[in-house]
Every structure is written in structure tokens, then in C-alpha cells.
């Protein structure tokens, strides 16, 4: 397998590193050429491609732990390490991590996953793109319009893949509900209602309070994303950002956004005040011929209630069977295909801009 090492491939028969080509003997060089031809043929017949070298920039976000575990075990990726400049965060592990400087991260990986704290999402994503790296950035991707425009421009001009980490873009409950609306099986959509609550302690409240949108910015962003993907850019956005909890802080913790369209509306709410909030989260589409409701959101349950049979569905209320859903699996599989094969992600850069500007308007930002 020495010849594969000389070629610099990583993992499987098409992979591994070795000494400089200047040190190869003629025999080893011939082996290397044969290995390259073998590798190309192997891939042509459906063999696995070399894993994508990936590293994290920041680990302060709540999704880091699960994404780290997933990428560490995914055959599509080779996890190189984590760059975390905050020593207090490094002390919490993971135990098996390789800590990297930012220069090492940008030198050694193809893909940077931004999982830093809320305020760093935008600056870190922009730095990685300007370093020539594909980027997966945790949501919400930026708190500033100008910064996010620069992120999109960097991705577009450098022809790099940018994926924003709205994981419910790959949730089968959301996707089947949206399919029913787009196919006209619900009739004309006149209202979307959605709620995502949680119960926050003091530390999380302090971080969220750094942003005027508060709960709408951090968690309501998931729902704004879904509404804009379904209905497009609203004609008007009206935010209601209340402070209700008796915590002595400045967090907008009881939030509502009204998104108006020519013939419909969307009502999105988010509040970190609800115990046992997970099962109560929902996304509902109401049309003139029926309703689709996802609730809970994870694991997703979808029910339809139709005035008449439509598409594959019967008249009346019914539970819709859904495929097994695991966070991040389809999301990172789609990212791997986009990086390797150029397959477009389901959300274009233009739509990312539509979602982001709508979110900031819903947050009074």
C-alpha cells in the first residue's frame, strides 16, 4: 500500500500518505501510477471517495457535541481537530480531541464547521471562506446584514460550498407538510403557525440577551427559515419582543413575529419560559382545503386533515408515516455530495439571503 501513501489519499484503498515523490524509486512510481488508475476505476464503479477533511472552528455552541460525535464516525469525513481559542472551553474536552491553531485548521482541512458562540458565527464563517474553505455555519449565521452579505459574496466568488445549519431542512415532517402545500393538496395557504419554546437557565439567558431579538433570534430562526422557504419573502414583518420572565435581565423572552404576504400570514413565537417544551413545539400550515401539522418536531409526527382526498392522501384526519429521522445525517450527507460532486444544496445563496434578512427584521435587528 506504499503507492497509495505516495499519492496522498486518505482512508480505504484510494488513500494514505507517504514520503515525497522525489524519494520514490522507479518501481514505486510505477506502483503509484497503477494505484491512481485503480483508484479512478474503483470510484467509477461506485467505490467510496476519500473522506473530506473537516475541522471545527469553535465549540461553544450547544450543537457541537453531537456534531463532533457524528463527524468523528461518518465515513464521508475525516475529523482533523478543533480550533478553540477560549481556554475555559478547551478544558471541557472532548478528551480525544486534537487541538489546532487557526492557521493549522485552515491549512489542514477542506471543510470548516463553525460551532462557536452566537456572536462569532458570522466572523468565523467569513474568515474560513476567505481562507478558501467550504463552510458549515451554525444558525443563526450572523447578527449583521452587511456581514452576511460578505459571507455570501465570499462563497459565491470563491465557488465554495456554504451550508447554514438549519437542521430541520432535512426533517421529513417539515418536508412532507411543505410538499402537501406546494402541490396544492391543502388548497390556498392562508396561515402558518409555528412555536419553538424551551426553558433557559441564567447562563443561556445572558448569551441570548446580547441580541435584541433574544429568543426569536436564537430559536425562532428555525421557524423563520421554514416559513420563508415555504412562502417566500414577506411583504411586511412586525416583531413583538417582550420581556416577561422575572430574571432581572434584558432578554426578550416572549417573542412573536407576524409575517404578512399578499394572501396569507405567518405567526411565529418563541419563548425560553416553558417547562417540558420539546413535545409542544409545532409547525402548522392551514389551507382552504386542509391542514398539515408537524408536532412534535423531533422525532417528527405529521398529521393531515383534508376536506377532500388529494394526492396520496384520503379525506379527513390521518397520521402520515415518516422515514426514520436522525439529526445531521441527511444534512451532512448532502454537504458531502455538494463538495465532491457539485450537487446543489436545497437552499440557494439567494434564498439564504431572503431568510436572513427576514429573520433580522423579525428580531428588530
Instruction: Tell me: pLDDT of 331 over 90.
Output: yes
166-204 pLDDT, tens digit each: 999 999 999 999 999 999 999 999 999 999 999 999 999
pLDDT at residue 47, rounded to an integer = 58
pLDDT in tens, 268-311: 999 999 999 999 999 999 999 999 999 999 999 999 999 999 99
Q: How far is CA 328 from the centre of its chain?
A: 8
- pTM, full prediction: 0.86
| Percentage of the chain modeled with pLDDT above 70 | 87
Residue 84 backbone zone (phi > 0: left; psi -120 to 50: alpha; other: beta): beta
Contact 27, 6 (CB under 8 A): no
Per-residue pLDDT for 41 more than 90? no
pLDDT single digits (tens) 88-142: 999 999 999 999 999 999 999 999 999 999 999 999 999 999 999 999 999 999 9
Which domains are assigned to the chain?
2-37 (no CATH), 52-165 (3.40.50.720), 169-325 (3.30.360.10)
pLDDT score for 48: 66
Across the chain, what does the average pLDDT equal? 89
Q: What does the alpha-carbon distance between residue 88 and residue 133 come to, in Å, rounded to a whole number? A: 27
Q: How many C-beta atoms surround the C-beta of residue 230 within 10 A?
A: 18
Q: Which residues contact 233 (CB under 8 A, 6 or more apart)?
A: 354, 357, 358
pLDDT above 90 covers what percent of the chain? 86
- Say if residue 6's pLDDT is above 70: no
Residue 160 has pLDDT above 50, yes or no: yes
For residues 5-17, give the mean pLDDT: 32
At residue 49, the pLDDT reads 83
Grid cell digits, residue 23: 524519494
Amino acid at each position: 500500500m506504499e503507492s497509495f501513501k505516495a499519492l496522498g489519499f486518505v482512508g480505504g484503498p484510494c488513500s494514505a500518505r507517504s514520503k515525497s515523490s522525489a524519494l520514490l524509486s522507479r518501481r514505486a512510481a510505477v506502483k503509484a501510477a497503477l494505484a491512481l488508475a485503480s483508484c479512478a476505476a474503483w470510484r467509477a464503479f461506485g467505490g467510496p471517495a476519500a473522506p473530506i477533511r473537516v475541522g471545527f472552528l469553535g465549540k461553544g455552541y450547544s450543537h457541537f457535541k453531537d456534531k463532533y460525535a457524528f463527524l468523528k464516525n461518518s465515513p464521508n469525513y475525516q475529523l482533523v481537530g478543533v480550533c478553540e481559542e477560549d481556554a475555559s472551553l478547551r478544558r471541557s474536552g472532548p478528551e480525544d480531541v486534537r487541538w489546532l491553531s487557526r492557521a493549522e485548521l485552515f491549512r489542514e482541512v477542506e471543510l470548516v464547521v463553525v460551532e462557536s458562540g452566537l456572536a462569532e458565527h458570522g466572523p468565523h464563517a467569513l474568515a474560513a471562506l476567505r481562507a478558501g474553505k467550504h463552510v458549515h455555519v451554525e444558525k443563526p449565521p450572523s447578527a449583521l446584514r452587511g456581514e452576511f452579505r460578505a459571507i455570501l459574496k465570499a462563497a459565491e466568488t470563491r465557488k465554495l460550498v456554504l451550508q447554514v445549519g438549519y437542521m430541520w431542512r432535512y426533517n421529513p415532517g417539515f418536508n412532507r407538510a411543505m410538499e402537501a402545500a406546494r402541490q396544492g393538496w391543502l388548497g390556498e395557504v392562508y396561515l402558518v403557525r409555528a412555536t419553538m419554546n424551551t426553558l433557559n437557565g441564567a447562563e443561556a439567558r445572558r448569551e441570548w440577551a446580547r441580541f435584541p431579538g433574544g429568543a426569536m433570534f436564537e430559536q425562532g430562526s428555525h421557524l423563520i427559515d421554514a416559513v420563508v422557504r415555504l412562502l417566500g419573502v414577506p411583504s411586511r414583518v412586525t416583531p413583538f419582543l417582550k420581556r416577561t420572565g422575572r430574571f432581572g435581565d434584558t432578554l426578550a423572552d416572549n417573542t412573536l413575529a407576524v409575517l404578512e404576504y399578499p394572501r396569507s400570514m405567518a405567526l411565529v413565537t418563541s419563548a425560553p419560559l416553558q417547562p417540558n417544551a420539546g413535545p409542544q413545539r409545532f409547525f402548522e400550515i392551514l389551507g382552504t382545503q386542509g391542514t398539515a401539522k408537524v408536532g412534535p418536531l423531533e422525532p417528527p409526527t405529521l398529521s393531515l386533515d383534508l376536506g377532500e382526498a388529494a394526492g396520496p392522501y384520503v379525506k379527513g384526519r390521518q397520521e402520515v408515516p415518516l422515514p426514520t429521522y436522525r439529526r445531521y445525517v441527511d444534512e451532512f450527507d448532502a454537504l458531502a455530495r455538494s463538495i465532491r460532486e457539485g450537487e446543489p444544496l436545497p437552499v440557494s445563496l439567494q434564498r439564504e439571503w431572503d431568510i436572513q434578512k427576514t429573520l433580522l427584521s423579525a428580531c428588530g435587528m
